[in-house]
């Protein structure tokens, strides 16, 4: 007997019929003798409907405490409905709101972080033979206010619950059947990965493969909880042994199960904009003088490149998300340019970021150079480069994005034929 946490997204919970399918699937696991906690999202569309009502009344500046009162209701409804559906399948089940468990969070309404989860109530029910439904996306702060965890927060709820009850695995059921070497819409030959390390998953997720909320992966990595991403669209009655091995397992164990590929996948994002300060006087503290005001304006900075100093000045470039591009330019022109004495600020929105990700890079030289050569062969100019132990990212002109992804996917042999070490 093992302990599993199942998480089902809004699409999987999107109708009465789908909720029944979720219940059938969970009942199958329960009937096999496993202890199961289920974390459902709100029914698809419900959160948007509720926040739409709030926006109609309060515009975009609504009090976030009240937004959380409103938005958290969607998950409470789907949790109750799922408990009823489980009971209809003959399974004893009980649902709990975040505050009932309790799922403790900090006070950052609409994007709270989980600080701890009490396991007593869940374990007591599991040991009494019940399936426990824990409402996702929500928690409670130290003063008893309801908080929510931000979009996709139910993933984090599930992993946090799995941590609290020491689950053997946390299964994230979603509308794709796993994590792919890259987006199959761009590269039809993209292949599902059977196993992936947490670090690789973090890079893949943060770089645009939106399968899992990134925070949930961090959480799972920190507490060593194996996470499996798998499809909720299969027949709920498929054999348990098949289902238990399906999807993509995200794990810490770099053993024989780990794939031997140097590069596991190609991530990409069009949601980038590049900003360059030209001819900045090169003196100590220059990076902080430039990026401090940008960070103070709550603008996230991604890649940062400072070129070699030439004749006492340097070019300083960084990327921001496209939707914060204009605001970043305003801050720089207003607060930074007059102070640091650069010649000018140049912005470019027509860029994208393409990254190769893989733990194998750590021990293999020449991976980055192979990437650069591949892009060069396609006539693609590289504007910025950033490297870490398990990824190499480049900024290129956005019109070349698909071409670059396809060429790299082929060069690193990620297609349907299993990859081999370089």
Point out which residues bind a copy of itself (CB under 8 A).
16, 19-20, 50, 53-54, 56-59, 62-63, 65-67, 69-70, 72-74, 76-77, 79-81, 83-85, 87-88, 94-95, 97, 99-100, 144-146
353 is in an annotated binding site: no
* Cβ burial, residue 348 (10 Å; 0-12/13-18/19+): middle
d(CA 235, CA 233): 7
Least spacing, CB of residue 92 vs a copy of itself, in Å: 10
What 3-state class would DSSP assign to 174?
strand
- Whichever of 81 and 328 has its CB closer to a copy of itself, that residue is 81
Least spacing, CB of residue 170 vs a copy of itself, in Å: 23
**Are the CB atoms for 162 and 44 separated by under 8 Å?**
no
- Whichever of 54 and 170 has its CB closer to a copy of itself, that residue is 54
248 is in an annotated binding site: no
Least spacing, CB of residue 146 vs a copy of itself, in Å: 7
47 is in an annotated binding site: yes
Least spacing, CB of residue 160 vs a copy of itself, in Å: 20
d(CA 262, CA 359): 7
Check the CA dihedral 81-87-89-92 and report its sign: positive
Helix (H) or strand (E) holding 35: strand 35-40
- Whichever of 72 and 276 has its CB closer to a copy of itself, that residue is 72
d(CA 391, CA 81): 43
* Cβ burial, residue 340 (10 Å; 0-12/13-18/19+): middle
Neighbours of 253 (CB within 10 A): 12
Least spacing, CB of residue 17 vs a copy of itself, in Å: 9
10 is in an annotated binding site: yes
288 is in an annotated binding site: no
- Whichever of 144 and 379 has its CB closer to a copy of itself, that residue is 144
* Binding-site residues for ATP: 7-10, 174-175, 180, 185, 210-211
* Binding-site residues: 7-10, 47, 75, 174-175, 180, 185, 210-211
């Amino acid at each position: 007997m093992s302990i599993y946490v199942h998480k089902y997204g809004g699409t999987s919970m999107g109708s009465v019929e789908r909720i029944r399918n979720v219940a059938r699937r969970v009942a199958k696991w329960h009937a096999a003798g496993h202890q199961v906690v289920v974390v459902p999202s709100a029914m698809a569309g419900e959160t948007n409907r509720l926040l739409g009502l709030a926006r109609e009344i309060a515009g975009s500046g609504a009090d976030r405490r009240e937004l959380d009162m409103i938005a958290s209701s969607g998950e409470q409804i789907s949790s109750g409905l799922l408990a009823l559906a489980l009971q209809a399948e003959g399974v004893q089940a009980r649902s709990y709101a975040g505050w009932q468990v309790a799922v403790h969070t900090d006070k950052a309404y609409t994007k709270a972080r989980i600080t701890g989860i009490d396991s007593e109530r869940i374990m007591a029910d599991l040991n009494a033979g019940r399936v426990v439904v824990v409402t996702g996306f929500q928690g409670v702060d130290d003063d008893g206010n309801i908080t929510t965890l931000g979009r996709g927060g139910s993933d984090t709820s599930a992993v946090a619950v799995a941590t609290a009850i020491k689950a053997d695995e946390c299964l994230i059921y979603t509308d794709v059947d796993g994590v792919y070497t890259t987006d199959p819409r761009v590269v039809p030959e993209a292949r599902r990965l059977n196993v992936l390390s947490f670090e690789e998953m973090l890079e893949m997720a943060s770089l645009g493969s939106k399968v899992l909320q990134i925070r949930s992966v961090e959480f799972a990595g920190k507490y060593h909880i194996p996470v499996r991403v798998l499809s909720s669209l299969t027949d709920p009655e498929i054999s348990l042994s098949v289902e238990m091995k399906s999807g993509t397992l995200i794990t810490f164990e770099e053993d024989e199960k780990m794939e031997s590929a140097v590069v596991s996948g190609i991530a990409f994002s069009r949601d980038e904009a590049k900003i360059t300060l030209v001819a900045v006087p090169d003196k100590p503290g220059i990076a902080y003088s430039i990026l401090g005001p940008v960070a103070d304006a709550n603008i996230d900075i991604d890649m940062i490149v400072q070129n070699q100093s030439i004749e006492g000045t340097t070019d300083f470039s960084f990327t921001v998300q496209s939707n914060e591009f204009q605001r970043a330019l305003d801050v720089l022109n207003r607060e930074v340019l007059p102070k640091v004495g650069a010649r000018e600020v140049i912005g470019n929105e027509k860029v994208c970021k393409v990254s190769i990700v893989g733990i194998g890079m750590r021990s293999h030289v020449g991976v980055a150079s192979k990437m650069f050569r591949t892009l060069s062969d396609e006539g693609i100019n590289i504007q910025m480069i950033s490297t870490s132990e398990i990824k190499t990212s480049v900024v290129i002109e956005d019109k070349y994005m698909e071409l670059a992804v396809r060429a790299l996917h082929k060069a690193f042999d990620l297609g349907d034929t299993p990859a081999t070490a370089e």
